[in-house]
Amino acid sequence: MDYIDLKKLSEMLNPPTANSSDSEDDLPKSSLVQLCKSKTGKDTKILTNESIKKNDEKNQKKIELLESEEDKAKNIWQEEEIVVAPEAIDVISDTRVRPEYDVKYQQYVGTEDAFLQMGPKTPLTSSCEAMVIEVKMPGDRMPGICTDITDEAVDIRSPKYRLHVPFPHNVYKQMSKALWNSSTNILTVTVFLKREYDDINF
């Protein structure tokens, strides 16, 4: 007698009632938030994906109701004008130390700019071609440092440190460079900015 025969015999001796079910497929598929009693005696919410979406939609409607059209007109920035800075998904959960860093802008000045002042360059950052990021990484060595530069951000990883810095503008990643100073333990990343009005500013 195998397992199937034993199961049939069990069903003959104990016929299933209307409320009992051995199959998971027979369970009600409800997307509503269910409540159950926890060990503390308090109600605990079990959330599903659909219930989370519904809650987000309700919260969004509440925000829209709180902010009228007149209030939106008074805002300095519109929602579509705000650009979200890109960030790596695993940066927040990373347990490594975030190192200190400085951001400087670099401008290439020629003789026509220094003496004759014939060019359109100004001391503002809009006239700077490059951005220099100096990352202080004490206790690290160059073989363990990985620098990943994209058009929108730089991601620096080492056994001790993790740093993700989004750029204010897109950059030319092919022209970017990184230099390691072993005496000061400082990593210098230089990126060349790619902006909309560079033809006017230079």
As a whole number of Å, the CA-based R_g of the chain is 30
Q: Does domain 101-201 have CATH number 2.60.40.790?
A: yes
Q: Which amino acid, one-letter code, is at 198?
A: D
Render 119-166 in DSSP notation, one character per residue. S---SSGGG--EEEEEEE-TT--GGG-EEEE-SSEEEEE-SSBEEEEE
**Residue 35 or 149, more confident:** 149
pLDDT digits (tens, 9 = 90+) for 39-96: 444 444 444 556 666 666 665 555 555 566 777 777 777 766 666 555 555 667 778 8
Residue 37 has what pLDDT?
42
Query: In the chain, which ranges are continuous DSSP H helix?
Result: 3-13, 49-66, 69-74, 111, 198-201
3-state helix, strand, coil in the chain (%, to 5): 30, 30, 45
Q: Is 79 helix (H, G, I), strand (E, B) or coil?
A: helix
Q: Is 43 helix (H, G, I), strand (E, B) or coil?
A: strand
Classify residue 97 by its DSSP letter: B
| Domain residue ranges of the chain, discontinuous segments joined by + | 34-74, 101-201
**pTM of the complete model:** 0.51
pLDDT digits (tens, 9 = 90+) for 99-142: 999 999 888 777 766 676 666 677 777 778 889 999 999 988 88
First-to-final CA distance of the chain: 89
What angle is formed at CA 120 by the lines to CA 115 and CA 124, rounded to 5 degrees? 95
